[in-house]
Amino acid sequence: MATVRPFRGYRPLPKYAKAVAAKPYDVLNSEEARAEAAGNPISFLHVGKPEIDLPPGTNLYDECVYQRGKENLNKLITDGILKEDELPCYYLYAQTMSDHTQFGIVGCASVEEYLNNTIKKHELTRKDKEDDRTKHVKVTNAHSGPIFLTYKAQNSIDAIVDGIRLAPAENDFIADDGIRHRLWVVSDKRTIEKINDAFRRVNCLYVADGHHRSAAAARVGKERAEANPHHTGTEEYNYFLAVLFPHNQLRIMDYNRVVKDLNGRNADDFFVELKKVFEVKENPAQYRPTSKSEIGMYLDHRWYSLKITSRLLNNPDPVERLDVSILQKYFLSPVLGIDDPRTNKRIDFVGGIRGLDELERRVNSGEMAVAFALYPTSIEELMSIADAGKIMPPKSTWFEPKLRDGMVVHFLS
């Protein structure tokens, strides 16, 4: 049984919604965020990435960064940009990218269910990033960016959503990147109870995106529960902000790799090792894999297709047979020396939204030596791995469109 509950959200008035809503903190670096928020004092980037309001070079983990985020969030409220709903509500959040629309219910998910694995994970977290988001939640006293959860699609929930979206959306805007965002407020008690009841019949939830945020929310919730002698389990800190989408509406893009060097090998030796794992074919143009077991590679201004040899594909382990796992285990680690991609500084990751041109740019500039383009992991693979209690390699999935921060904010008290 999955516990989801409504809350009194703080959200921007319709006239401010487009200016406030911002990309998640972890898809932009500080320079990109500073440029994107330039001239927009109410962008939520001032809350999610508050270092943009401090001198360049400021330590991202300095106390002053978190304090500035708190100040910026409070200012949005005192200036009347964000308003609190009078009663606990659910919200319906729709995103439209090109011809695809996905509808998610915004509510609060349970810290306890995160800790007992009713909310299932598929990635490990990095301590520095988890510590950062934990500090951000503690200082701001808020979940300012939602965790992206999914569940196996339910007809009963689809029917509720279909009813809600018959009415005009409260907020409706097209962001500068062309993605349309709509938000409905669900305050009707009968509809709220229908949502509560429908999720009680959902066996489990899955973290699709936002492992560091969810881990941070759980840490803070657990700490506050242990520190509160009058803890009841109903306090807001026991729940975290989430958007819950049915699995069959989600789209996962490729998550690609670039590596700084060939680990001391010349090109001839590199290809000798490559052909032990893959069937290698040069391509006259950019090569984007069209199915599983195929990988694109860019090296020395040339594209290649790499087909995984059949002996590596018949593994019963759902993690071991992922393309990204095979690339890591049989080539990146033993040949290129990328022992732990979570910590190794010689590898970087490029979300599919940036395209193959970005892979070429990184290699052609001399910054990187080789790039690998992967076929997207499926949502079914993600769920089967989480169901098995296993962990995917880092940076295995890139979800688009990204949820916008600042659409709704949840305070812990």
Q: What is the CATH number of the domain that holds 367?
A: 3.30.1760
407 domain residue, yes or no: no
Tell me the CA distances in angstroms from 72 to 46, 67, 192, one per residue in order.
6, 9, 32
Q: Dihedral (C-alpha) 227, 233, 238, 241: value to the nearest 10 degrees?
A: -160
**Residues 122, 218 share a domain:** yes
**Residues 261, 231 share a domain:** no
**Residues 27, 83 share a domain:** yes
286 domain residue, yes or no: yes
183 neighbors 91 (Cβ within 8 angstroms): yes
361 domain residue, yes or no: yes
Indicate if the alpha-carbon torsion angle 279, 283, 286, 291 is positive or negative.
Answer: negative
**Residues 263, 207 share a domain:** no
> pLDDT at position 394, please?
85
260 domain residue, yes or no: yes
**Residues 193, 271 share a domain:** no
Percentage of residues of the chain with pLDDT beyond 70: 100
SS3 306: strand
> Per residue in 289-303, pLDDT tens?
999 999 999 999 999
Domain count, the chain: 2
Among candidate residues 246, 265, 291, the one where a domain is terminated: 246
> pLDDT at position 237, please?
98
**What type of residue is 283?**
N
Instruction: Please state, in angstroms and rounded to a whole number, the distance separating the CA atoms of residues 38 and 205.
Output: 37
The H-assigned helical ranges of 105-151 are 111-115, 127-140
Indicate if the pLDDT at residue 409 is higher than 90: yes
**Residues 20, 159 share a domain:** yes
Residue 311 DSSP label: G
382 domain residue, yes or no: no
Helix (H) or strand (E) run with residue 384 in it: helix 379-387
- Judging by beta carbons within 10 Å of its beta carbon (0-12, 13-18, 19+), is residue 39 exposed, middle or buried? exposed
**Residues 299, 163 share a domain:** no
Instruction: Please state, in angstroms and rounded to a whole number, the distance separating the CA atoms of residues 374 and 103.
Output: 27
Give the range of the structural domain holding residue 223, as residue numbers without chain letter.
4-246
344 neighbors 353 (Cβ within 8 angstroms): no
162 domain residue, yes or no: yes
- Judging by beta carbons within 10 Å of its beta carbon (0-12, 13-18, 19+), is residue 225 exposed, middle or buried? middle
119 neighbors 149 (Cβ within 8 angstroms): yes
> Per residue in 313-352, pLDDT tens?
888 889 999 999 999 999 999 999 999 998 899 999 999 9
Which of 63-72, 105-114, 278-287, 308-317 is predicted with the least confidence, judged by mean pLDDT?
A: 308-317
> Per residue in 213-228, pLDDT tens?
999 999 999 999 999 9
- Judging by beta carbons within 10 Å of its beta carbon (0-12, 13-18, 19+), is residue 136 exposed, middle or buried? buried
Is the preceding omega at residue 401 within 30 degrees of 0, hence cis? Answer: yes
307 domain residue, yes or no: yes
- DSSP β-bridge partners for residue 82: 12
